[in-house]
A = this chain, B = another copy of it.
Amino acid sequence: MAGDAANDPANGAASHAASDDDRFRRGWAKLQEVDGAAAERVMTALQDIAPDLGRYIVEFAYGDVYAHPGLDNRTREIVTVSALAAMGNAQPQLKIHIHAALNVGCTRPEIVEIMMQMAVYAGFPAALNGMFAAKDVFAERDAAGKTN
C-alpha cells in the first residue's frame, strides 16, 4: 500500500473512535498476514461504492474473527476454503482464499485433498468446480514465480 493517503483504503477508518481504530489496525495486520494484495484490491474496488463494507471486512472479519484466539491462520483458511467450496456460489472468494491458504502454510496437495473431500459432502460438481478454481490459482502462482 503506497504512501498516497488519498487513495489508501486504510484511511477509511480515520474518523472512527479509538478502539475501532484498534480493530481496524488489528484486522489490517491480519489481512497482510494472509493475503495483503487481494485485500487491497477488494478494498479499492469497494472504495467508491461501499467503503463501510470494506471497513467491516477489516474490522469484523479480520479484526474480530480471524484475530480471535483459538485457531491458527492455516486452520482458519482450511475452514474458509471448505465452506466456500461446499457453498459453490462464491468462486471469486474461493480463489482468493485458496491463495490465502497457500500463503499461510497450506500445501497445494492439501488444497487438492480438501476439494476431493467435497465430493463426499457437497457432490462431485462442487469438487470439480473447486478443483478447477485451485488449478487456476496454482497457475497464477506459477506465473508469479511462487513455488508453493
Task: Give the interface of A toward B (CB within 8 A).
Answer: 1, 7, 9-10, 12-14, 16-25, 28, 36, 40, 42-47, 49-61, 64-66, 68, 70-71, 75-76, 78-80, 82-90, 92-93, 109-110, 112-129, 131-132, 134-135, 138
Q: Provide the residues of chain B in CB contact with A87, threshold 8 Å.
A: 86-89, 121-122, 125
Give the shortest distance, in Å, between A24 (CB) and chain B (any CB): 4
Whether A18 touches B16, Cβ cut-off 8 Å, given contacts A113-B70, A114-B79, is no
Number of copies: 6
Give the shortest distance, in Å, between A92 (CB) and chain B (any CB): 7
B46 touching A56, Cβ below 8 Å = no
B117 touching A13, Cβ below 8 Å = no
A17 touching B19, Cβ below 8 Å = yes
B82 touching A45, Cβ below 8 Å = no
Give the shortest distance, in Å, between A112 (CB) and chain B (any CB): 5
